[in-house]
Amino acid sequence: MKKIALEEHCMSPGLEEYWRPTMSLVPEQVFKPIYARLTDFGDLRLGEMDAAGIEKAVLSIAGPGVQIEPDTARATYKAAESNDFLAAEIQRRPKRYEGFAHIALQDPKAAAAELERCVKQLGFKGAMINGQTLGHYLDERRFDPFWAKAEELDAPIYLHPADPVRMYDGYGDYKVLMRATWGWGVETGTHALRMIFGGVFERFPKATLLLGHCGESLPFMLWRFDSRAKALYGVKMSKDVSQFIVDNIAVTISGMYSREPVDCSIAALGRSRVMFSADFPFESIREAGSFMDDVAMDEDLRADVAWRNAAKLLKIKMD
């Protein structure tokens, strides 16, 4: 089964300084091969894509990138520089790669302009945002110009996990809980819910948010979100929380190569809202590909998840 993979990471020169601290708990023998794959755009990456049956990868900069840069001008410049670098790499292999823009949200109007440049001039398919930006979350009204532009361009915005403003004290000495094992999912799911309760999709009903890891647990909680928000807190919106999730959020299966969460995501969101990802190089791309090929699933649905949904949502042409 051919595949489009949506959460496939890379690194551009000058952004390593932001990413390296996120790997501080990872042993050096694990870090080195990850970094080698992250910085490769040639035979190493393509060979692994071929082995997994991935025809196209949508590349994105490994976070948090410039979103933690306190100097707004520097962040804006480095984001544009990174996007130019990635666009050049994609142009070398246009049949295999697409891209998500790297955006400096410190200046929301400049971020909107960079998104437009990346989509209209560089051919990118949307943007990837790596969590909060200097303590600011995407539900804040300051980001309305960015959401307005994303809606206008019909450009999906992929919200990728990153560290919260401060770590939850409940993790205590269990550092394994802080990031990819648990903490990033909690942070990203919370961020997405802030957007719903904060009215982002009321103001921009045609905007599309992408979440990895089968929706950061949101598809499993739809009934409870509706029940508790209304019964306990009297929340009133134009639609139920669950309906905003179904209408405005699509998910990928990155890092969730198990039948049960995939089945639940499809049942909760609909077959057109779930897509394949390999999460290269942080997960085994071959395991991801084999799972997509072998998981018990109707073959027409398998094609939807493997590539057709992504091709339609991101307007990707397949040979």
Per-residue pLDDT tens over the stretch 296-314: 999 999 999 999 999 999 9
d(CA 124, CA 94): 11
* pTM attached to this predicted model: 0.96
Task: Let me know if residue 279 belongs to a domain.
Answer: yes
Confidence band, pLDDT 50/70/90 cuts, at residue 79: very high
Is the Cβ–Cβ distance between 153 and 116 less than 8 Å? Answer: yes
**pLDDT reported for residue 28:** 87
Domain that holds residue 42: 3-314
Q: Give me the CATH number covering residue 132.
A: 3.20.20.140
Task: Let me know if residue 195 belongs to a domain.
Answer: yes
Confidence band, pLDDT 50/70/90 cuts, at residue 319: confident
**pLDDT reported for residue 24:** 80
Provide CB contacts within 8 A for 209, sequence distance 6+: 156, 157, 158, 159, 192, 195, 248, 249, 250
pLDDT at 130 over 80: yes
Quote the tokens at residue 317: 């042409």
Compute the average pLDDT of residues 88-110. Answer: 98
Overall domain count for the chain = 1
Provide CB contacts within 8 A for 280, sequence distance 6+: 5, 8, 9, 37, 45, 48, 49, 57
Per-residue pLDDT tens over the stretch 216-242: 999 999 999 999 998 888 899 999 999
Q: Which residues, in sequence order, are bridge partners of residue 274?
A: 251
Mean pLDDT of the chain: 96
Task: Let me know if residue 319 belongs to a domain.
Answer: no
Task: Let me know if residue 46 belongs to a domain.
Answer: yes
Task: Let me know if residue 266 belongs to a domain.
Answer: yes
Helix (H), strand (E), coil (C) string for 3-20:
EEEEEEEECCCCCHHHHH
Annotated active-site residue 107? The verdict is: no
**pLDDT reported for residue 117:** 98
Quote the tokens at residue 308: 């057709």
Task: Let me know if residue 296 belongs to a domain.
Answer: yes
**pLDDT reported for residue 231:** 83
Pick the closest to residue 100 from 110, 80, 112, 86 (CA basis): 86
Task: Let me know if residue 192 belongs to a domain.
Answer: yes
How far is the CA of 205 from the CAs of 27, 221, 273, 284, in angstroms?
44, 22, 16, 36
Task: Let me know if residue 121 belongs to a domain.
Answer: yes
Q: Per the residue annotation, which of 226, 279, 293, 300 is the catalytic one?
A: 279
CA dihedral 134→18→277→110, nearest 10 degrees, is 50
Is the Cβ–Cβ distance between 124 and 97 less than 8 Å? Answer: no
